[in-house]
Structure 1
Amino acid sequence: MRIAFYGSSLLSSYWNGAATYYRGMLRDLAARGHHVTFYEPDAFDRQKNRDIEPPEWADVRVYDATENALREVMAEAARADVVVKASGVGVFDDELIAGVMKAARPDAIRIFWDVDAPATLAEITPAPDHALRRALPGLDYVLTYGGGPPVIAAYEALGARRCIPIYNALDPETHHPVPAEPRFAGDLNFLANRLPDREARVEQFFLDAAARLPDRKFLLGGNGWHDKPMPSNVRQIGHVGTRDHNAFNTSSISVLNVARDSMAQVGYSPATRVFEAAGAGACLITDAWVGLDLFLKEGEEVLVARDGADVAEHVRTLTPERAKAIGEAARARILAGHTYARRGAEVDALLRRTAAEKRSAA
């Protein structure tokens, strides 16, 4: 099938946490015979900070963030068998959801793919006239990369026909064990952009833990932290491109995951970092959230913390031998049940079944 996918960016992970998810999902769908065209705006300096060049498995259309260019790319939705509008494009989001669905052929499969369902729901729930709210009844699916039962119920209450979580996963060809690199050495490494609904939890789980262990080394990667006061044992390194994520995860005793406020409250929302760390065989420490046990077992495949004191205690008592055992167990669990090959098979089956239903109805 021809898939027209309108998202934030496939080529750049710069201020774009969905890049790894897009790449893993769309690469697998292309391998199953689908032809993917990805439309991304030239915005937020992402094209100046590409992690990859246009891949062989997708046609990438970079368009100017102007109304004229927008009209051109929206019109191309008419050529597709599947039209996907993702959340968080960042420019013309309202115009895109209305425009591409209007341009889509009557027999096309229409999908809104939400890569931040808690934030999207918080925005649209109190706004009956929101462009996405108006579009929901006409969509075949809302797909989300997390959220579980609470998100499904919320979307269906707002008029979505069907909401199905397609969780984050691992691409083992991209994220895997590599030799450690001294530039990323530390006792606890943490990779996250500075965002308003994550910062307090970063203070609680990462900075507080660092302050409790002044003799240990903490490494912070990600955008936006340059003017944030830090304990002296925290070293900031700024944006870390996806090509360096494996080394970032394998070069420390442990790595940290901290969910954003909304995702922690909703649960069932494993971040990309969880699967990247597991794929590299890293020992992951994560904040607690409902649904974690669907992906990793506490104490054996992941260490769970309820606050900064818990994080500090894990770091203080963790030996290299135990860290290695936890990392290897996590990698085995994720490879067995949570790869993009599995997620792609799920989406492929959904698309083929829906196409058959539409043909029968016609």
Structure 2
Amino acid sequence: MLIGVPKEIKNHEYRVGLTPSSVRELVARGHRVIVEKNAGGAIGLTDDTYLAAGAELAESAAAVFAQAELIVKVKEPQPDECKLLRADQVLFTYLHLAPDRRQTKLLLDSGVTAIAYETITDNHGGLPLLAPMSEVAGRMAIQAGAACLEKSKGGAGVLLGGVPGVAPGKVTILGGGVVGYNAALVAVGVGAEVTVIDRSLDRLRWLDQQFGNRIRTLYATADTIEASIVEADLIVGAVLIPGAAAPHLIRREQLKHLRPGTVLVDVSIDQGGCFETSRPTTHADPIYIVDDIVHYCVANMPGAVARTSTFALNNATLPFTLALADKGYQRALLDDPHLLNGLNIHRGQLTCFPVADALGLPWSDPLGSLQASP
């Protein structure tokens, strides 16, 4: 199979779909890999390292898309990239379609088969390809939020860890999953007072076991959320419903009850955001202020630490990339129900129910769609 790796073009996105090590694994199995020139140069993965691993180089993204049977990326294809896709190709990347009708329509119109990292599952009910980036984003949420609390950024001028004689800052984390746990880990590490809110009692018990009395855990109700956010200096939105749009846990009218300079970091922004006032921002222009409340809603947070993120992501994606290349996408999907859960779009049909439900579009059963294909 011919696998293509274009350079990412989203704002300040320096990650790359395949590392040279991953390329070497694919080439050793008899596959060809074509990589756009300088795709990984920003993070020290030079063209020479790709050539040494057995890759071929392409002058442009258009050349990669024109030749490849399987496109491996990191972020969702931008409109110009969607126009390069075709019906006999497979796209393997993060998609986050639920809040993105335009991208969904472009992919449906292209006829491509699109497999989303974020909806692939595992035997434990987890999301193994989302987890590594959630770990990065959770840890970065506290780092970014702490910077936004500085007065020069519009924040309240609070140091999360405090100092002797001055109380530490208060962090409220909405969601106790992978993002929430990693955010709590860093927030506790810097000495903040941390509250994690979740609707799963099992998850709250697990968090209590991990942190003991270093954090406070609360069951998610409207009352507990309202009571916690009015006390917080930093609020991290870390809610995930796989494949679906995130629920709005903080409404616009509630902002007036927060202290001026409170910071909201919305890690759920890829799925539409869990604050009503959230809108996607970029690393070039990461924050905005609504009603004296600072919003940080960068949609590709792990891209800021692109080298770490690229290697962490490849560790998770490589087994699935190998399966798709070795078996062909249809056999790979039929053989692995967890990989099949990643099938979002197949030849003009929307095959991920939460996405179809969020966008009000027709849904096709993924297994039936595959079996009906020639």
TM-score, structure 1 as length reference: 0.40
Which of 1 and 2 has higher RCO (CA within 8 Å, sep 6+)?
A: 2
